[in-house]
Amino acid sequence: MRLESYVAGAWQAGGGRAILLRDASTGAVVAEASSEGLDFAAVLRHAREVGGPALRALTFHERAALLRALGKRLLDFKPEFYALSHATGATRGDSWIDIDGGIGTMLVFASKGTRELPNSRVYLDGALEGLSKGGSFVGQHLCVPLEGAAVHINAFNFPVWGMLEKLAPALLAGVPAVVKPATATSYLTELVVRRIIETGLLPPGALQLICGGVGDLFDHLGCQDVVSFTGSASTAARLRTHPAVVRHAVRFVAETDSLNSSILGPDAGPGTPEFGLFVREVAREMTVKAGQKCTAIRKAIVPRGLLGEVVAALQAELAKAVVGDPRAAGVGMGPLASLAQRDEVLARLAELESEAERVAGDPERFEVTGGDRARGAFLPPLLLLCRDAASARAVHAVEAFGPVSTVIGYDGLPGAIALARRGEGSLAGSVFTADEAVAAELVLGLAPYHGRVLVVNRHCAQESTGHGSPLAPLVHGGPGRAGGGEELGGIRGVLHYMQRTAVQGAPDVITAVGGRWARGSRERDPGVHPFRKPFHALAIGDTFRSAEREVTVDDIERFAALSGDNFYAHMSEQEAARNPLFGGRVAHGYFLISAAAGLFVDPDYGPVLGNYGLDALRFVKPVKPGDRIQVRLTCREKSLRADKGWGEVTWDTEITNQAGETVAAYHVLTMVSVHAIPDRP
């Protein structure tokens, strides 16, 4: 079967000589792939001219709804995906990480898009910046979708997760994707893309697939395109310096293989929960996906005095691994993705063995359950021990991208940190300790050289996702050798595909551009109390100004009696006079908020369904007995929840005193019905 690429709205098979893709366990041909003859300029043109406009016409919430619907639909195809995934060498557990993990990541972005992004096409980044004394000149950062294509080049080890974890934030941002999976396992990616296209959920041009090489695709990149790459550091360097990438300053997000470490704390000796957790985690990272993970533990850094105990415990744990065809019963570790990958690992193993001794596993003698020993890409877990890591080179520079890890000893926490940092930039590090002070020192020492640091102890271990698990809400990437980029990270990942622009001007201009009322902008007279208007009738800038209310000593004392807040500044004129901030008795800040609600709330039944919080509350100036307060309430921002029959409305709220000075400012958050006020029963 020759795989097809999905480009310019059609499935197309490449011509010429194809690459044979083989089952990792049996060597049988699964498919063949070629992209020869594809018009790569047309691929990018289709993304820019068809996919981009269709996605940008949708709001963030509408794009999130597409992701949610697509993720739920993909769950129906899991049995088909799992069956084919075995050919890549993945066990059922490996496939769960790849397939369920990928779909789960898409659903996380769908949820975050709905909860954390506005129901609009513009994302306002940060607060309004005052740029002048009088407030007539202000600035606002905003983000809009890039108008090019997101070119996603993925690695062979996660043909589903690798695609979906990049695709979800790009589509949520409003940028169409061109996916290029690693050829060795592209048959699984192609199947998933076929099912995605068949759902009809995505707009035309939102997703294209290239099975095979990228041809001259990079020659046609422009300043609005983004390249997101996962793979080797050498390939990343070659692509990053492509003339078109350099000439057009194309955004290049790289996540490359790195030498990741796990450190056993000095307190975590044999018999402690943390010792057992460490041993099991190192063994798991060596056997899951046959060690083919960019986040896998390559260096197990342990107190020098515990080298013998750690090696013995790992030998016992690794001896439990059953290597073989993932389809065979009892197999817990499958083959590598290909014979070429196995040969690459053995070559790197030889380099490591020049300065470390192998203490577990023999690539020449090990049992294989099922599969074809000669034609399958099998290796056992291979554990090395480096007794002089300080003077070693290979253990800090050579990565065998397979079931290989090296145990090294350290003297003192600074020594452990130095050994981990010699990887010159890592995706992930982990620490196993029950001592919070040890954890703090190690985390802060590792942080400059690591994209993510996991700390495991007996209290969080049961719920911990493990050393090698990137999570959608957290950034995935790292400095230096790890590529210098970031993926995932929740909304941070979405912003990789957007242009941040600083807009300067009058408050009314900022309001018009961003769709969010800027303080100092024109206030609108709604004609009625704005709480009487349903969601769609409300306009940004609709404002209510209340009558005044005098704050009295009796108010303060009754609030103290009701709330139990008898802080001296409210209750004693003498003691409050000693406070340099107040110089006398003042009203409770929370009384002012309550009194303000009494001034602006319309009490009758209406479209406002409820108040769900306050944001950005600041008490600016104290209020003393005899002061008079007044409230301004302005419709600041609207975000429709169409499926719920209501929308979120944020009200800019300001309490002023009789001199017009601001005493408190905050945002009131309400849920407002889309329906008009019904007649009274």
> Residue 544's CB: how many other CB atoms inside 10 A?
22
CA distance 247 to 176: 22
State phi, psi for 197 to the nearest 5 degrees: -65, -40
- Cite the active site residues: 255, 294
Whether 283 and 291 have beta carbons less than 8 Å apart is answered as: no
Q: How far is Cα of residue 206 from the mean position of the Cα atoms in its chain?
A: 21
Crossing angle for the helix pair 78-85 and 186-199, to the nearest 10 degrees = 170
> Which value, in Å, is the radius of gyration of the alpha carbons in the chain?
30
Residues paired with residue 677 on neighbouring β-strands, in sequence order: none
332 CB burial (10 A radius; 0-12, 13-18, 19+): middle
DSSP 8-state class, residue 482: G
Whether 533 and 211 have beta carbons less than 8 Å apart is answered as: no
DSSP 8-state class, residue 679: P
Query: Is residue 13 within a helix (H) or strand (E), and if so which, with residue range?
Result: strand 10-13
CA distance 490 to 499: 17
DSSP sequence for 495-534: HTTEEEEEEEE-HHHHHHHHSSPPTTSPPB--SS-GGGS-
- Which residue carries 């208007």 as its tokens? 533
DSSP sequence for 263-296: EE-TT--TTSHHHHHHHHHHHHHHHGGGG--TT-
Closest by Cα among 230, 217, 240 to 148: 217
DSSP 8-state class, residue 471: -
Name 437's Cβ contacts closer than 8 Å, sequence gap at least 6: none
Largest CA distance in the chain: 92
> Residue 201's CB: how many other CB atoms inside 10 A?
17
Residue type, 58: L
CA distance 480 to 336: 27
DSSP 8-state class, residue 402: S
CA distance 257 to 294: 5
Which residue intervals of 322-369 are DSSP H helices? 339-352
Crossing angle for the helix pair 60-75 and 101-116, to the nearest 10 degrees = 160
| 451 CB-side CA count, 13 A | 34
Instruction: Collapse the DSSP code of 62 into the 3-class scheme (helix H, G, I; strand E, B; otherwise coil) and give the result.
Output: helix
DSSP sequence for 177-218: EEEE--GGGHHHHHHHHHHHHHHT-SPTTSEEE--S--TTGG
CA distance 22 to 184: 8
621 CB burial (10 A radius; 0-12, 13-18, 19+): middle
Whether 672 and 609 have beta carbons less than 8 Å apart is answered as: yes
* Integer angstrom CA distances of residue 371 from 64, 106, 188, 331: 42, 34, 20, 11
